[in-house]
Structure 1
Amino acid sequence: MRYSFKHTLYACYTGYITQAIVNNLAPILFIVFQQQFGISFEQVGRLILINFGTQIAADLISVRYVDRIGYRKAAVLAHLLSVLGLVGLAVLPMLLPPYLGLTTAVIIYALGGGLLEVLVSPIVESLPGEQKESAMSLLHSFYCWGQVFVVLVSTLLLWVFGTQIWVYLPVMWAIVPLINMFLFSKVPLMPPLPKEHLMPLRELLNSKFFGAALILMMCAGASELTMSQWSSLFAEKGLHVSKVIGDLAGPCMFAVLMGIGRTLYGIWGHKINLKNALLASGALCILCYLVTIFSPSPILSLIGCAVCGFSVSLMWPGTFSLTAEKFPRGGTAMFGMLAVFGDLGAAIGPWMAGYISDVAQGSQYFMQIGTERQMDPAQLGLKSGLLVALIFPILLVAGVIYFQKAKHK
């Protein structure tokens, strides 16, 4: 079979689906982990922190070594680590102390996810064609559709067959990166820019524009992942709906609307002012967090959670496109540093929400507020955690306003 750049694009799309599996399968199983292994909210949040903390380490390693070993070998390695980590998620908690087993599996597949995050965007950016902003948003939409598929299929399987079959889910999903690993070993890749043509990392880091872009990426990661990773548990514990309804109305609808937002921008993005679109996204995100936290109606809270997916849809790919347009010679180092700060936000935001949730549940002051408002400890804790995370979309809006007003160098 003769492979073309179209197959390369398909492999990149599947690479983002793999990353969606890596980031979103475990949160579907958080309640199962709590029930079976007796772990706390903070430990659940710590798994998210470990996942994205490890991805940050992989991003930093990639910045230094990917150009040396080549995109093809790095992509194959990324998929192999994803396969091993997902299989380990099912096997290692049975062979090791449960939380150690979960942590080990998360570290392994997070290394693969971090590598993919750095590799896929510059590969797509290098392919022949114009309208790069639209192509980047369409690429990132496959992360959303992967998330929808993971949440929908996993939730329905757990509902139909019972939570005891959870150990088979990671093995089933490992088939996707396994197949894509072989595809990446065959598809054509554009040669990277020669090292002498690339912009030095020191020059990038000395740019005020690039520094602001890194802050935007951190806020984008935190705004997206805090709501996405906690939405299932928030719906079940905080809003008292069933797990299947919580998963479908929470993370699944979040991902559907995020995918719709990215797909629409992928089609019509070349006609839209990117900075204005990012500003509108941030403002809508703030509103969605407020509705989710403060609405007395569980239905309105779930709607706020779901629409938040649309609001964050442009943040991550939009910041990538904004930066790539400003620094066309940024190369792997630029995408790697953006990924580092995106993952930093994705790690800090959900962990901070979990930490604040535990603190609120142990505070007499907060318990008194909860009693007055007829909220149980879990509901109060989770709402408190999301309230603190509201700082991230607020900072993102401030950053976009800075972009619009300042002269960047």
Structure 2
Amino acid sequence: MARQKNYKKTLTACYLGFVTQAISANFAPLLFLTFRSTYGITLEKIAMIPMVFYLAQLLIDLAATRFADRIGYRTCVVVSQVLSAVGLVSMAFLPELVPVPFAGLLISVVLYAVGSGLIEVLVSPIVEACPFEHKDGMMSLLHSSYCWGAVGVVLGSTLFFALFGIEHWKVLTVLWALLSLYNTWNFLRCPIERLMEEGKGMSSGELLRLPLFWLIIVLMICTGASEATMAQWASAFTESALGVSKAVGDLAGPGLFAMFMGISRMLYGKFSERLHLTRVMLLCGVLCAGCYLLAALSASPVLGLAGCALCGLAVGIMWPGSISISSQKCPRGGTAMFAFLALAGDLGATVSPALVGSFAELAGGDLKAGLLVAAAFPVVLVIGLLILKGKAGGTALPTEATRPGKTSAS
């Protein structure tokens, strides 16, 4: 008798996959000043680290549209965990082994950024291929693990540094890397199904010829921009608005933002069968725009902080919701679709924070002016969702059949 596959193991591995991505994205920024004092690296060079991280993710997102299906999900996702671990360990030791410490840091960042990009591309289709019901709710719960990972990195690192001192940061770096190595074993053992039978999925060219898919790409760009802008500027905004230390700023700004984002995704995952995805997305888009306006226009520092925190609640559904809508509208999209969605989200996450910084600089260093500009992204998201909702009553594309176990997003 055939042994029944345990897809809960797959889900656990995917949850931890997003936790390892959260470590890659959020740990190094906590050490920027340590890098400056330890290796004598200027802040101008240190500012290149997040740029290199997101650029490497963008490139691997694009490349994955061509190689992920050919190599196979399991091989690619195992490599993602190994590269994440190797990159973190390299960050602890490589700068002292090469003539230019900054070059060692960048090599390490590229390694774990490639791992992070592969996680982002592969984990969602791996869960989508599992025979779970209420996929949109499951996707929301899956993406909540990134939020809790981000909260865990900030809290865990802050506690470690308080107990043992920042000078022992290399030990903590290796400890975080061990989680990726452990999850490598999980992905080697858990059942992984193909999202589409060979030859059944749409090619990149077919996807890019669909006007509907370009509309979803716009949604993902706005989603990435809405999420990353507040996530990256929340600490600086909190420090400047409340006049607190960096440690308090990290906890009150990005910490609260990530916590509320995780709560949002967990709540939707729990009640998804009772909720209407597109309507929830519309509500979240309006709330997100309101939060940016509150943070940018409020004269009260406390209300500004509330805008930052509640923005996490608003953006929580956007990324997994956009992926679920895309899966429902283009069920034959395959791995290429998930890779393009990750690429679009990362593009928004790369461009928007830089845009906010530029406008803030033009306004004489007023960060509120930059955040005011960022409010345009959730507004465009709402417009896109309304257009998508209107198309639901029109002529359906041949690829838009709804799969069993999924609810309509429109």
Query: Given the two structures, how large is their TM-score scaled by the length of structure 1?
Result: 0.88
Give CA-to-partner distance per residue, 1:26-75, whole Å, 9 cap, x none.
233344446664544x6555432321221111112211111111111111
Counting only pairs closer than 5 Å after superposition, residues 6-405 of structure 1 correspond to structure 2 as 6-33=8-35, 37=40, 39-40=42-43, 46-96=48-98, 97-237=100-240, 239-357=242-360, 359-360=361-362, 366-367=363-364, 380-405=365-390
Specify whether residues 303 and 90 from structure 1 end up closer, same or farther in structure 2 by C-alpha distance, changes over 3 A only.
Answer: farther
Give CA-to-partner distance per residue, 1:280-327, whole Å, 9 cap, x none.
111111111122223333322222111111110011000000000111
The equivalent residue for 1:370 is none
Provide the rounded CA distance (Å) in 2 between the counterparts of 1:78 and 1:125. Answer: 19
Aligned-partner SS, 2:199: helix
Q: Percent identity at matched positions? A: 46
Aligned-partner SS, 1:185: helix
Gaps of 5+ in 2: 398-410
- Report the residue type matching 1:207 in the other structure: L
Give CA-to-partner distance per residue, 1:182-231, whole Å, 9 cap, x none.
11111121244222211222221111111011111011111111111222
| Contact 1:49–1:348, Cα closer than 8 Å, also in 2 | no
| Contact 2:65–2:204, Cα closer than 8 Å, also in 1 | no
| Contact 1:48–1:350, Cα closer than 8 Å, also in 2 | no
Provide the rounded CA distance (Å) in 1 between the counterparts of 2:101 and 2:301. Answer: 33
- Report the residue type matching 1:147 in the other structure: A
- Report the residue type matching 1:60 in the other structure: L
Structure 1 range deviating more: 245-254 or 45-54: 45-54
Deviation of 1:123 after TM superposition, in Å, equals 0.7
Provide the rounded CA distance (Å) in 2 between the counterparts of 1:79 and 1:327. Answer: 29
Specify whether residues 290 and 14 from structure 1 end up closer, same or farther in structure 2 by C-alpha distance, changes over 3 A only.
Answer: same
Deviation of 1:76 after TM superposition, in Å, equals 0.9
- Report the residue type matching 2:374 in the other structure: A
Structure 1 stretches of 4+ moved >6 Å: none
Q: Relative contact order, CA 8 A, sep 6+: which one is greater?
A: 1
Provide the rounded CA distance (Å) in 1 between the counterparts of 2:133 and 2:5. Answer: 21
Q: How many residues align?
A: 390
| Contact 1:156–1:244, Cα closer than 8 Å, also in 2 | no
Gaps of 5+ in 1: 361-365, 368-379
Q: What is the root-mean-square deviation of aligned Cα atoms in Å?
A: 2.3
| Contact 2:126–2:194, Cα closer than 8 Å, also in 1 | no
Provide the rounded CA distance (Å) in 2 between the counterparts of 1:46 and 1:287. Answer: 31
